[in-house]
């Protein structure tokens, strides 16, 4: 790891050792702007964000491999009776053990597209897993709580403004 002006940078070799990608693959991701890199006088390096992007990419590939293995295992199992084929939960439809995400009829989507937002989404996934709830429910709970706190704060500010105005009128 290289530290320049308090910022950490990782050589492609270090990144390959930590993630299992080849240096050539990392170079390709950087050249295609899929992972954030930076050119130093000695050569190209990954920024901290780039390293996180690479780790997230690796994590997603690993999850996809596990999902594919689960689907293969599910296909080899005995097919369930018709009444059990479609098992609904709040956020998934389970058809023959293959999980497919479904949007609600009036739902709205939020897309996590920037590197910072992708990292935030990964944290939300961990929290959702710990709470054993869908990510969208965890997001809604967090937003609902934050908005309630903001409304309380605004109500207090309004009250203080009224008190201030009353004091100003007395003077």
Residue 167, pLDDT > 90, answer yes
Q: What are the DSSP E strand ranges found in the chain?
A: 2-4, 7-11, 37-40, 43-47, 86-88, 92-95, 98-101
Residue 14, pLDDT > 80, answer yes
- Token pair of 87 as six digits: 């098992």
- Give the model confidence (pLDDT) of 81-133 as tens digits: 444 444 444 433 333 333 334 445 556 667 777 777 888 888 888 888 888 88
The pLDDT, as a whole number, for residue 124 is: 83
The pLDDT, as a whole number, for residue 54 is: 86
- Give the model confidence (pLDDT) of 127-164 as tens digits: 888 888 888 888 889 989 999 999 999 999 999 999 99
User: How far out from the chain centre does Cα 147 lie?
Assistant: 21
**Res. 74 pLDDT band, cuts 50 70 90:** low
Q: Please list the residues that pair with 60 across neighbouring strands.
A: none
Domain ranges of the chain: 2-101, 115-170
What CATH architecture does domain 2-101 belong to?
Orthogonal Bundle (1.10)
Q: Please list the residues that pair with 119 across neighbouring strands.
A: none
- How many angstroms separate the CA atoms of 94 and 72, rounded? 15
Whether residue 90 contacts residue 102, with contact meaning beta carbons closer than 8 Å, is answered with no
List, in order, residues 6 or more apart from 93 with CB less than 8 Å away: 86, 87, 99, 100, 102
3-state secondary structure of 8: strand
Short-list 120, 122, 121, 69, CA closest to 97: 69
Predicted TM-score (pTM) above 0.75: no
The pLDDT, as a whole number, for residue 150 is: 92
Residue located via tokens 């690796």: 58
- Give the model confidence (pLDDT) of 40-65 as tens digits: 777 888 888 888 888 888 888 767 76
- How many angstroms separate the CA atoms of 159 and 169, rounded? 15
């Amino acid at each position: 790891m290289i530290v320049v002006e308090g910022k950490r940078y990782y050589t492609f070799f270090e990144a390959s050792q930590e993630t299992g990608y080849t240096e050539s693959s990392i170079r390709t991701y950087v050249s295609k702007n899929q992972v954030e890199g930076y050119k130093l006088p000695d050569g190209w390096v990954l920024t901290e964000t780039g390293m996180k992007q690479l780790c997230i990419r690796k994590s997603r590939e690993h999850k996809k491999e596990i999902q594919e293995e689960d689907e293969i295992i599910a296909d080899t199992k005995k097919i369930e009776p018709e009444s059990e084929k479609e098992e609904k939960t709040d956020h998934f439809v389970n058809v023959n053990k293959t999980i497919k995400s479904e949007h609600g009829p009036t739902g709205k989507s939020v897309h996590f597209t920037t590197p910072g937002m992708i990292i935030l989404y990964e944290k939300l996934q961990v929290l959702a897993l710990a709470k054993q709830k869908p990510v969208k429910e965890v997001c809604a709970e967090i937003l609902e709580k934050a908005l309630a706190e903001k409304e309380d704060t605004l109500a207090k500010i309004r009250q203080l403004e009224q008190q201030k105005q009353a004091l100003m009128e007395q003077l």
